[in-house]
Every structure is written in C-alpha cells, then in structure tokens.
Structure 1
C-alpha cells in the first residue's frame, strides 16, 4: 500500500472518529474497539513478531478491554481502570509466551513487541474518555479534524524537516480553525491540540514509512490506523490540561 493511499485512509478514519463522536458515545466506543482489532491483526506483521496469532489475541483483548473499561466506568476520572487493563494484558502476554510450542525463539522481541502493541491499542480508549468528559465532543472533533488534515498533508511532495514542519503547521492551523467553530473549544486550545497532533503524525510518518513490512496488507492496515489509535490518549491528556 502506497504512502498516498495510507495517508488518505488515515484521514478518512480520523474523520469517522469525529462523526462517531458527534453521533454519540456508543458509536464512538464501538468504532474505537474496531480500530483496536485492526491494529491487533496487523501489528505482529508490522513488527515481524514470531508468534503472530497469540500476539494478535493478546493485543486485541487489551485494546477492546481498555475501551470497554472506560465505556462502563462511572464518574471521573474515566481512565482510572486503564492501568489494571494494561497490567492484565501484560500478564496475558507472558502467558501467551508460555503456551508457545516453537521453542520460544526471539522471546524478548516477542514479549516487548506484544507489550508495545498493547500500549498502542489501549491508547485508542482516550477518544472514548475524551468524549465522556464535559464538552468532550468538541474536543474529540477538534483533535480528529486536526489529525485528518495533518495526515492528508503527508502526501505532499515535501520531504525532510520541511515536510515535518509543514505537517505540524497545517495540523495546528486546522486545530485552531476547528477550535474557533466547535462549541466548548477556543482558538488557542485548538491550535495547541493541533500542534501536538501534528508532531505525532510527522513522527509516525518518519518512523514507519520505509518499513518493508508495509507491503503486506495487515501491516499496512495497522500502520494507517496507528496514528488514530495513538492520538486518542494524546487528545485526552491535552484536553484535560487546556480545556479541563
């Protein structure tokens, strides 16, 4: 899958996050759970982990469990159950390694890859937590729109540091514009949120763009969804600091 195709689909998925948040908490949580499953399916291929079925199961359980825990948590802070979910997922990663029958080759790489994947998919629950906060719908929409615009800018024929600065600047501008229009947000908060999202998008682009594993469909799907999942927790943290 080419860079252009992945960038367009990432922008589309980010837009769907905004739409789901506008519709309601339940559609947003359901969509986030689907994204966690997509990443769980492709993450072992993206990193070339040795035990792919077991890794996908552990990562998927961690991501869906994180979304479910935050969805059913009553009262703030909505992330208070997330550490327990992550801890249980890490424990499940070790159990999965014990069940391997292939000699447990590349054990350290397998465990660290699964734990990293669990943290990535658990981050998607930040969208759900953001949407449940007071005025959180506007926060989610602003972050998602900044992510969509920043992801789309990646396809421009601008490489190196200039391309990264353009991505960050455009995402910040999109966040400022959304912040000016969306209820419960303001221009400054939107711009700072867009700035943070832009830095994340540019960093992930540099990190994954040249991996050979992206030639495989599961890995490409995980890579295009990855910015959306990771941005979830970023939006929640920045939103709590700037919006309250």
Structure 2
C-alpha cells in the first residue's frame, strides 16, 4: 500500500468515526472496535514481533476492554461525567500491562527478543486505549461536533505526511496544516450552529490547539512508521492507517474537557 493509499484509508476511518459520533454510543463503539481490530491484527506484522498471535490477542483485549468500559459508563449515565466517563479505563490499561507480561511467560519459543516484544505489545495496547477515548468525546461539553473538528485536522496532517517531502519539511507542514484545518473546522462548527453550550469564541481556539496536536502526532507517527520495511504490506498498512485516528482520541477528549468549558 502506497503512502497516498494509506492516507486515504486514514481519511475513510476518520469519516467513519466522525459519523458514528453523531449516531450514538453503540455505533461509535462499533467504529472503535474496527480501529482496534486493524491495529491488533497489523501491529505484530508492522513491528515484526515474535509470537504474533499472542500479541494480537493481548492488544485486541486491551483495546476492546477500554472501548467497552468507556461505552458502558457514558451510555449508562451521562451525569457520571463528574467522576469522568473514562474512570474505568486506567484499570483496563493496568490489567492489559499485566496481560502483556503473562503473554511473555506463556511463550514456548525460548522468548527471543523479549524486551522488543514487551515494548511493542504495550505500545499497541496504548493505541487501543487511546482509541477508546473517542467513546467519551460526545459526552464532553463540546459534544459530538468536536469529533469532526479534530478528525479534519488529522486528515489534513495525514495528507501532508503522505507526500514525498522529507520529514524536515513534512513535519512542520503537517503541524501547520493540522492547526489551520482545526481552526477552520472549529469556526465552521460555530457558523453551522453546532457550538452548543460552549462559548463560540472558544471553538476556533480549541480547533487550533487540537489541530496542532494532531499534526504533531501524525508527523511523529510518520517519522516512526516510514522507517519500517513492512509499513506498506498488508495487514501492517492498515495498522499504519488506523494509528493516527487512535492517537487523536486522547487529545480530543482533553480538548473537550479542558478547553471547551
């Protein structure tokens, strides 16, 4: 899969998550399950990790557990936001870390490349946990309109990173494109009447901050994944495409809770 095709896949996944954010917790959970599945299946191939089936299993369990926990809290009681809709996710992340070590203990291949396997597995689990943060975004002060604002910035930065420009050019350009796209998307949200209870003046600022953050994340991901020889081969390429959308979940939730008050 070429970089433009990977960026197009990122765009498709971002559109799916943005639309699902308006469709309700269950639809959003299904979209997040797809993200987690793409990362879990492609992650061992992307990093050429030993014991790929076990790695896929523990990465999938971490992501699915975090999505289920976040969706259950938000869907059951929106008034529980005072305690945080993601209050149970840290416990899932802790159990996932233990599962990563149990997976290593259960290996029967002599455990070659042990440190590489553990670090790679935990990193994949972190992506799944960050993806689960999208489940709480519609329940923030900003509501569902925040999802497309952040994801527009992700797509803009991914498009820049899909070019053949060297990283020293594409990196700053991705940050700038993300910030500009986020600012424009935030301003468009106000113009279209989607500001909700949030002061309109804060949407552009939040879009700018979230967009710049998305640009940094996407550029950093390109710097890492572009060096991997398996990045263009399926199913690793799907993990490469899904990762930016997963990474943006945590940032979107922080913006919704801290900036858009």
Is 1:87 paired with 2:94?
Answer: yes
Asked whether the 8 Å contact 2:141–2:260 carries over to 1, the reply is no
Equivalent residue, structure 2, for 1:121: 128
Deviations 1:98-157 (A, max 9, x none): 221111222222122111111111100111111222332111121111112221222334
Provide the TM-score with structure 2 as the length reference.
Answer: 0.89
Is 1:54 paired with 2:54?
Answer: yes
Is 1:228 paired with 2:245?
Answer: yes
* Structure-1 separation of matches of 2:134 and 2:218: 16
User: Higher mean Cα deviation, 121-130 or 148-157?
Assistant: 148-157
Q: CA RMSD in A?
A: 1.5
* Structure-2 separation of matches of 1:61 and 1:159: 36
Asked whether the 8 Å contact 1:15–1:148 carries over to 2, the reply is no
Equivalent residue, structure 2, for 1:31: 31
Asked whether the 8 Å contact 1:18–1:145 carries over to 2, the reply is no
User: Higher mean Cα deviation, 60-69 or 204-213?
Assistant: 204-213
Asked whether the 8 Å contact 1:146–1:198 carries over to 2, the reply is yes
After TM superposition, give the deviation of residue 33 of structure 1 in Å: 1.3
Is 1:205 paired with 2:187?
Answer: no
Provide the TM-score with structure 1 as the length reference.
Answer: 0.94
Equivalent residue, structure 1, for 2:12: 12
Is 1:67 paired with 2:74?
Answer: no
The 3 A distance-change label for structure 1 pair 155 and 109 is closer
* Structure-2 separation of matches of 1:113 and 1:159: 26
* Structure-2 separation of matches of 1:190 and 1:78: 22
- Unmatched 5+ residue regions in structure 2? none
The 3 A distance-change label for structure 1 pair 157 and 54 is closer
Is 1:150 paired with 2:153?
Answer: no
Q: Which runs of 4+ in 1 moved over 3 A?
A: none
